[in-house]
Structure 1
């Protein structure tokens, strides 16, 4: 069941992002040619950036929907919380993956963006996660987030 929207609607970028994700998912499907394709830190970083962008979108949609349609707004707010939990798990998985083959035998890195082997870019996954977590915690109760908490401490 999908809603029918006109081809010239106001959401072309969201549709394009969804199409890109579907294409990427198909290319990662198990096959003989790409059986060695696994998640790496860069892959999870990009996915985390996408999830945090979706968090912002859901937050705004929930805020705009809640006044005229409180029940629908609550459902969007719940979706926002669940998406935060998924985002938090992707962030945790990022830290469990080694960044190079040489680091495969070492302990996974803690959340210290300044010590990442690739150097601290302008906005690292940890900084992005902390910023998103701040927004989520302002609008969500600890009970809603339990047991999902971030391990990032800065």
Structure 2
């Protein structure tokens, strides 16, 4: 899908990221017809990184839009909250996917126990940083509002 608005080269990195996601979705759709491959931890980690980057972008856009256009700013702030809920669901899924190494079967966040050592920014650290930002601007009841009828614990 493309927007009807003329974009030009104003947002080349954002357009490239969107194109990459569309390409990846088409590739997964093509492979799903031949062999269904479940998501693995590296895939979910990269997806979580993308969601948290979008979360940061929406945070900045909501802040800069709120003063001149309050209604639009509120909608962007709501999208910011919902995007954090999506990132939280991907983070939870990451910890529910089986680990290739049998010695690391715990589902808790323990980056110090990774066999290669803690990376510079693990999915848990990234998620905690995003959580800190969203909790400064969002009430707990807003964060616990189900995302389209799902509760945070429906997969457990």
**What range is the shorter-chain TM-score in?**
0.7 to 0.9
How much has 1:118 moved relative to structure 2? 4.1
TM-score, scaled to structure 1: 0.86
Matched length: 145
**Whole-Å Cα distance in 2 between the matches of residues 85 and 45 of structure 1?**
15
Query: Unpaired runs of 5+ in structure 2?
Result: none
How much has 1:109 moved relative to structure 2? 2.3
Contact persistence 1:97–1:108 (CA under 8 A)? no
Structure 1 residue ranges, 4+ long, deviating more than 3 angstroms after superposition: 147-150
What is the aligned partner in structure 1 of residue 85 from structure 2? Answer: 85
TM-score, scaled to structure 2: 0.85
RMSD: 2.2
What is the aligned partner in structure 2 of residue 56 from structure 1? Answer: 56
Q: Where do residues 1-154 of structure 1 align in structure 2 (5 Å cutoff)?
A: 2-8=3-9, 10-29=10-29, 30-32=32-34, 35-100=35-100, 102-103=101-102, 107-146=105-144
Contact persistence 1:113–1:124 (CA under 8 A)? yes
How much has 1:147 moved relative to structure 2? 5.4
Query: Unpaired runs of 5+ in structure 1?
Result: none
